[in-house]
Amino acid sequence: MATDDPYDFRFDCGATWLNLLATRGRAFGSHPVERLDSAERLAEWLRASELAPGRDVTPEDLRRTWRLRECLRALALATVEGRTPPEEAIAELGAFLGAEDRVELTGGDRLRRRPPATIDDALVRIARQAVDHLAGVDRDGLKACPEDDCRGVFTDPAGRRRWCPSPSCASRGRVRAHRARLAASQAAAAPAELRRS
List of residues contacting Zn ion (CB under 5 A): 145, 147, 150, 152, 164, 166, 169
Give the residue from 43, 49, 160, 197 showing the smallest Cα distance to 113.
Answer: 49
Indicate the residue among 39 and 155 with the shorter CB distance to Zn ion.
Answer: 155
CB 24 within 8 A of CB 151: no
Q: How far is the CB of 84 from Zn ion (least distance, A)?
A: 24
The least CB distance from residue 150 to Zn ion, in Å, is 3
- Backbone phi, psi, residue 142, to 5°: -90, 145
Q: Which is nearer to Zn ion, 116 or 165 (CB)?
A: 165
Q: Which residue, 130 or 150, is less far from Zn ion as judged by CB?
A: 150
Strand segments (E) across 16-78:
24-25, 33-34
Beta carbon nearer to Zn ion, 123 or 145: 145
For residue 73, count CB atoms less than 10 angstroms from its CB and return exposed for 0-12, middle for 13-18, buried for 19 or more: buried
Sign of CA pseudo-dihedral 98, 101, 102, 103: negative
Nearest residue (CB) to Zn ion, 101 versus 147: 147
CB of 185 to Zn ion, least distance (A): 27
Phi–psi pair at 179, nearest 5 degrees? -60, -40
Picking from 49, 70, 101, 9, the residue whose alpha carbon sits closest to that of residue 62 is 70
Minimum CB separation from Zn ion for residue 165, in Å? 8
Least separation in angstroms between residue 152's CB and Zn ion is 4
Contact 129, 16 (CB under 8 A): yes
